[in-house]
A and B are shown apart, each in its own frame.
Chain A
Amino acid sequence: MVVTKDDTMEIRVSDHVVLVRQAVRKWSIELGFSLVDQTKMITAASELARNTLDYGKGGTVRLERVEEGMKKGLRLTFEDQGPGIPDLEKALTDGYTTGRGMGMGLSGSKRLVNEFDIATKVGEGTRVTITRWK
């Protein structure tokens, strides 16, 4: 996989979530994603950015335009140094929340993308990587 463009954005306050969505929209359009694919990627980014902010106590997102063979896609990596997720299986269950959310963010965004990877360690932080191919 080759990275042909990349950028990193801060996620420290809730307006940053809006800016992340705007950036993901721009990159998705540049990649020629269909309207549905754009919307799915933006929505997933919105969920993960807000988790980074609310549960991870803030962090960053890395945007990468990737190519593999003939395929082109967008990869996003959300990373925080927050408390981590003690029970990943539960967190990935529809409706599970430790906050006041719907508990659909993680499981839902997994369904919105082609690849979903999560690495987390209690006391160290969480990293979620998603990729959507054109």
Chain B
Amino acid sequence: MSKNGQGLLEVLKGQESDLLADWIKEQSGVAPRRGASIRESEVRDQCKEFLGLFQSAIRDGGADDIQGPRWGGVRELLSNLSRTRGLQGFSPSETASFVFSLKKPLFTRLGRAHAKDAEGLAEATWSANQLLDSLGLYTTEVHQKAREEVISRQQQEMLELSTPVVKLWEGILALPMIGTLDSARTQVVMESLLQRIVETGSNIAIIDITGVPTVDTLTAQHLLKTVTAARLMGAECIISGIRPQIAQTIVHLGVDLGDVTTKASLADAFAIALERTGRGVRKVRAGS
């Protein structure tokens, strides 16, 4: 075990409750952003647990290598703390201040212990400083990683938005597609449309792609497959929501939607669907 670690241990020993009080006071000075708050009793428990683990890590593993196996407990505590605080809305620096705020109370005590030994003090402070810096950086890294995980999960969820099949009128279904059509969910969406066609005995299905950002060959192929399958179940499809830029792009791409009826908007498609089923919309009153 290193000499520096020994110095730290000496000032920690027997002073835990006193040090704990000072440390907690330091932390209350760091006001978190609005919306990010944490109960004092929770902070106290975390600090107490940290001091315990911190001491045994120094005792067993020295103060130099926080990546070592003896520091596993401390790392785990900090990593849980970073993750939960990250979710509670703490910024990375607010999260790291948990560790950095220990510096002042610790250095004060080192100063007292080395009152007559300037060289020893400098050395002990330097090593404690390095140790706390690396632990603080560790919390920042975990915080960052947790954030990235959340973002990638949200992206994943966006990719997999589900698409409900809605009945617009007797015999007329609509499928408002939102998101990308090249993921595994296309199959699911197609199957649920076919099932609803059977259940409702519908003979017209409007597939609205207003919410589909890109139509490429794979998307077109999925759409055409859906149209063909719907036909086999006795329903004609209308594709709506093909915006002008998409229409132009698929022409250049060379994709042919064949004899499928296409309409610019869902409203246009609905009007056609009503007409084909022998209905229409009539104004019953003058005015708006």
**B256, chain A: closest CB distance, angstroms:** 9
Counting CB contacts under 8 A, is A17 at the interface? yes
Counting CB contacts under 8 A, is A81 at the interface? no
Counting CB contacts under 8 A, is B211 at the interface? no
Q: Cα distance A54–B44 when bound, in Å?
A: 54
CB contacts (< 8 Å) of B221 on chain A: these are 101-102
Q: Cα distance A50–B159 when bound, in Å?
A: 16
Considering only residues 11-53 of chain A, those with a C-beta below 8 Å from chain B are: 14-15, 17-19, 21, 25, 35-36, 38-40, 42-43, 46-47, 50
Residue in B180, B246, B255 whose CB lies within 8 Å of A108: B255
DSSP class of A's interface residues: helix, strand, loop or mixed? Answer: helix
* Most chain A CB neighbours (cut-off 10 Å) among B180, B220, B252: B252
- Count residues on chain B whose CB falls below 8 Å from chain A CBs: 23
- On whether A39 and B255 interact (CB within 8 A), knowing A21-B214, A47-B216, A50-B182, the answer reads no
Instruction: Closest B residue to A36 by CB, please name it.
Output: B245
- On whether A15 and B156 interact (CB within 8 A), knowing A36-B248, A40-B252, A50-B182, the answer reads yes
- On whether A108 and B217 interact (CB within 8 A), knowing A36-B248, A102-B255, the answer reads yes
Counting CB contacts under 8 A, is B254 at the interface? yes
Residue in B183, B217, B245, B254 whose CB lies within 8 Å of A35: B245
Chain B interfacial positions (CB closer than 8 Å to A) = 155-156, 159, 180, 182-183, 213-218, 220-221, 244-246, 248-249, 252-255
New A-B pairs, 19, CB < 8 Å, besides A25-B213, A39-B246, A108-B254: A15-B155, A17-B182, A18-B180, A21-B213, A21-B214, A35-B245, A36-B244, A36-B245, A36-B248, A42-B214, A43-B214, A43-B253, A47-B217, A47-B253, A50-B216, A101-B217, A102-B221, A104-B255, A112-B252
16 contacts between A and B (CB under 8 A): A14-B182, A14-B183, A15-B156, A15-B159, A18-B159, A18-B182, A18-B183, A21-B214, A43-B214, A43-B216, A47-B216, A47-B217, A102-B221, A105-B216, A108-B252, A108-B255
